[in-house]
Amino acid sequence: MGLFLQLFTDGVVIGCVYALVALGFVVILSTTGIWHFAHAAVYSAAAYWVYFATVERGMPLVLAALLSLPFAACLGLLIDVVAYRPLRRRNAAPTTVMIVSIAVMTFLENGIAILFGTDNKSLGTVFVAHGYSVGPVVITTWSIITLVATAVLFVTLILFQQRTEMGAAMRAVGNNADMARVVGINVGRIYLVAFALGSALVAPAAVLVSIHSGISPTMGLEVLLTAVAAVIVGGVGSIPGVLLGGLLIGVAGGVGVWQIPSQWQQAIAFAILFLFIIFRPTGFFGGKVKSAAV
Amino acid sequence: MNSMARRTVGWLALLAVLLAGPVGSAAAGEFKFALILPLTGGSAAYGRDQTVGAEFGVEDVNARGGILGDKLVMIKEDSAADPKRGITAFNKVVEVDRVPVVVSAWSSVILALAPVAAEKNVLLISDGSSAPAVVAASPMTVSVYPVATVDQNALAVYAYKDLGKRRAALIWIGNDTGRLPRDVFKKRWLDLGGKIVAEEEHAPDAIDFSAQVAKIKAANPDLLWVMSLIKESPVIAKQARELGITAQIVSYSAVENKIYVDQAGQAAEGTIYTSAAPPHDAEVEKFVARFKAKVGREPNGLNYVLYLYNAPFMVAKAMEYLKKQGWEYNGPNMKKAMFAVKDYDLRYLGRITMVEPGTVITPVTIKQVQGGKFVPLKVMPVGSF
């Protein structure tokens, strides 16, 4: 039973990481309809910013981590202005936009590799290497920070979406951009806000994973694929759904290896995705899958 | 044909001649061989440094008179540690540069190149891959780096006899880098009378190992055997210690890397690992100083770099033999020459001996991470494991 509880707890923590990565992705997707795969590169870039600021320039980690939010937000804005806005003007097909987002991701990852090299980097040992025992379960400082960061960011974002004018405007644009324009909402501005906010939201996950597992130019794609699975499982566009999808994939991967060999761990996430696509394509909380548009 | 067309045909003819190159490089007063290592991608931290080591080797061979007066020339290509990229690079150096000898590393790349080398009658020298499968992977493949059958046998004996451990938990990366050494260690460990209490494989691009580590903790091992790359090994060590696993961590020479100590921190302390190079002396320190003067830092994976430094010397020695015999410079003759020379007294590494079907035997040095440094504990001579 002790092992089961440990695997469950670890699954919850890694599920939170997937949910955090997916959170910014879903903010952009639900508002703009863009499957923004370049989000993976924004995630990598945020991690490299922290590496550059702390290891190469000696900035305190907390300050570098805080500055990673505006850094990621600016990068997200830049991608929208340079890559997606010209496509919107040309009424480009959703597939074209998705291909461009993959191209932007590749471009940025290669840029990072040119600047910092392709070898792995480390932020050094940030936390003391021991855990705290809670009954039969051991939990680490890193895990606690991940759980707290996830809770704070999800609650804040849900409140933002439900209680603020900007949140309502973003939902309106996500539901029907033309109708939103008719009632006087500046859709272009809302898109910018979505990219800035969604990109900033990926920075905490990037910092946490960098501390945990180190940094490499392609680190974003490795985790984004699982995060996108969490988005689909949770229901495309749903914030609580993303959290539930991330947790389900994390816990299933963790607890799954209790009884089956661990080499199948990654397959579990995609098996869940497959089952959802077949039996519940709308995910936990999703409505009809929204067709992508720009 | 107008003048423009004639000029175009002329340029094309010249290009064809340049691309074709001389057939039989020895006739041109030089011996060419190729080096294919990852210069980009996740393994480039090692590949680039090994390339610098090989460049030093070529410089030193030529400074000592080359191949009985002929110059040794090395052509570098990038594999990105990816089999497909490796084959593209291999075809380029064989078809365009016309080299009959290729030095490369990384198990998955060697295993992909081996059949192509046999098909094209090119000698493929594996230098740095520890997977036993690379030995005689094809009739034209030899390994000049001691594979896991050498160092993992030695590690099993050291852990069982010297450390007195009995309950081993194994964790490895789910590809040839992990699986093949696992087979060697596991067999030897069981033969010695040890128990395997947990076996956990992880995906090559995994970022978290908490599930595997939790299962290992539940099995209560006294030895944790880790066979992963430098990206994963420190995370595994850190998560194991955070979870309260106190078992001795043992691994292989990949952990002899600053990133391992930086990322794992205190959890790296005490890790015991195998090294194919003898304890470093003042000569090795001079080599490191030479490397630092060129690159600006210490090499990643010094042992691999030392082996790659010696690759041009081994090739040159076989070429000298071939030249003295009056044999043509081609792949099959180079393979015969390498076995005919048999014993190679290598700088920094000592004597290594080529044995059939295509590998080398060497002593194994057991080392440990102590205070963030890599400290030799014991040299296990050939025959002791």
Count the neighbouring beta carbons within 10 Å of the beta carbon of residue B218.
17
Cβ contact A130–B202 (<8 Å): no
Q: How far apart are CA A196 and CA A207, in angstroms?
A: 17
Which bin fits B29, alpha (ψ -120 to 50), beta or left (φ > 0)? left
Residues of B in contact with A117 (CB under 8 A): 44-45
Q: What's the confidence (pLDDT) of residue A171?
A: 92
Q: What's the confidence (pLDDT) of residue B111?
A: 92
Q: What's the confidence (pLDDT) of residue A133?
A: 87
Cβ contact B259–A120 (<8 Å): yes
B288–chain A nearest CA distance, Å: 20
Distances (CA, A) of B310 to A13, B129, B307, B352: 47, 15, 5, 11
Of B212, B243, B262, the CB nearest to A122: B262
Quick one: B139 exposed, middle or buried, by C-beta within 10 A (0-12, 13-18, 19+)? middle
pLDDT tens for each residue of chain B, 385 residues long: 455 555 554 555 444 444 444 334 444 689 999 999 999 887 888 899 999 999 999 999 999 999 999 999 999 999 998 999 999 999 999 999 999 999 999 988 999 999 999 999 999 999 988 788 888 789 999 999 988 888 899 999 999 999 999 999 999 999 878 888 899 999 999 999 999 999 999 988 788 898 999 999 999 999 999 999 888 999 999 999 989 999 999 999 889 888 899 889 889 999 999 987 777 788 999 999 999 999 999 898 888 999 999 999 999 999 999 999 999 999 999 999 999 999 999 999 888 889 888 889 888 999 999 999 999 999 998 778 8
Count the neighbouring beta carbons within 10 Å of the beta carbon of residue A225.
18
Distances (CA, A) of B225 to A204, B155, B217, B230: 33, 10, 13, 14
Going edge to edge, which strands form the sheet with B350-355?
B343-346, B350-355, B359-361
Instruction: Spell out the domain ranges in chain A.
Output: 2-279
**A221 Cβ neighbours under 8 A, 6+ residues apart:** A40, A105, A109
Is residue B347 within 8 angstroms of chain A, CB to CB? no
B306–chain A nearest CA distance, Å: 20
* Helix ranges (DSSP H) in B243-346: 258-264, 282-295, 302-325, 331-341
**A204 Cβ neighbours under 8 A, 6+ residues apart:** A20, A65, A69, A149, A153
For residues B344 and B317, the answer to whether their CB atoms sit within 8 Å is yes
Question: Higher confidence at residue B87 or residue A213?
Answer: B87
Residues of A in contact with B206 (CB under 8 A): 265-266
Cβ contact B234–A3 (<8 Å): no
For CA atoms B226, B231, B236, B241, the dihedral sign is positive
Residues of B in contact with A119 (CB under 8 A): 42, 44-45, 259, 300
Residues forming a β-bridge with B102? B34, B124
CATH architecture of A2-279: Orthogonal Bundle (1.10)
Average pLDDT on A211-232 reads 89
Q: What's the confidence (pLDDT) of residue B87?
A: 96
Is residue B300 within 8 angstroms of chain A, CB to CB? yes
Quote ipTM for the complex: 0.80
Query: Could you give the 3-state DSSP secondary structure of residue A95?
Result: helix
Name which of A20, A44, A118 to mutate to probe chain B: the one with the most chain B Cβ atoms within 10 A of its Cβ. A118
Average pLDDT on A261-288 reads 82
- For B322-337, the DSSP string reads HHHHT---SHHHHHHH
Q: What homologous superfamily is domain B149-275+365-380 in, according to CATH?
A: Response regulator (3.40.50.2300)
Task: Reply yes or no on whether the pLDDT at A291 is more than 70.
Answer: no
Residues of B in contact with A17 (CB under 8 A): 207-208
Average pLDDT of chain A to the nearest whole number: 90
Q: What's the confidence (pLDDT) of residue B20?
A: 41
Is residue B271 within 8 angstroms of chain A, CB to CB? no
- For A165-188, the DSSP string reads HHHHHHHHHHH-HHHHHHTT--HH
Count the neighbouring beta carbons within 10 Å of the beta carbon of residue A106.
16
Task: Reply yes or no on whether the pLDDT at A294 is more than 50.
Answer: no
Q: What's the confidence (pLDDT) of residue B206?
A: 84
Q: How far apart are CA B161 and CA A80, in angstroms?
A: 62
Instruction: Give CA angle at A74 (A73, A78), nearest 5°.
Output: 120
Cβ contact B215–A257 (<8 Å): yes
Residue in chain A nearest B258 by alpha carbon:
A122
CB proximity under 8 Å: B 164-203 to A = 174, 200-203
Instruction: Spell out the domain ranges in chain B.
Output: 7-146+283-348, 149-275+365-380
User: Which residue in B207, B139, B203 sits closest to B177, CA to CA?
Assistant: B203
Cβ contact B211–A11 (<8 Å): yes
Query: Could you give the 3-state DSSP secondary structure of residue A133?
Result: strand
CATH T-level fold of B7-146+283-348: Rossmann fold (3.40.50)
Cβ contact A262–B211 (<8 Å): yes
Cβ contact B44–A118 (<8 Å): yes
Q: What's the confidence (pLDDT) of residue B10?
A: 52
Q: How far apart are CA A172 and CA A178, in angstroms?
A: 10
Cβ contact A223–B207 (<8 Å): yes
Query: Could you give the 3-state DSSP secondary structure of residue B68?
Result: coil
What values do phi and psi take at A74, rounded to 5? Answer: -65, -40
User: Which residue in B107, B112, B89 sits closest to B43, CA to CA?
Assistant: B107
Question: Higher confidence at residue A57 or residue B22?
Answer: A57
Going edge to edge, which strands form the sheet with B223-227?
B195-202, B167-173, B223-227, B248-251, B272-275, B364-370, B373-380
Count the neighbouring beta carbons within 10 Å of the beta carbon of residue A289.
13
Give percent of chain A above pLDDT 70. 95
Residues of A in contact with B42 (CB under 8 A): 118-120, 216, 218
Please determine whether the domains at B7-146+283-348 and B149-275+365-380 fall in the same fold group of CATH.
Answer: yes
Name which of A13, A44, A120 to mutate to probe chain B: the one with the most chain B Cβ atoms within 10 A of its Cβ. A120
Task: Locate A224 and state its tokens.
Answer: 């984004």
Cβ contact B241–A257 (<8 Å): no
Q: What's the confidence (pLDDT) of residue B17?
A: 42
Q: How far apart are CA A68 and CA A47, in angstroms?
A: 8
Task: Locate A220 and state its tokens.
Answer: 């974003």
Cβ contact B218–A2 (<8 Å): yes
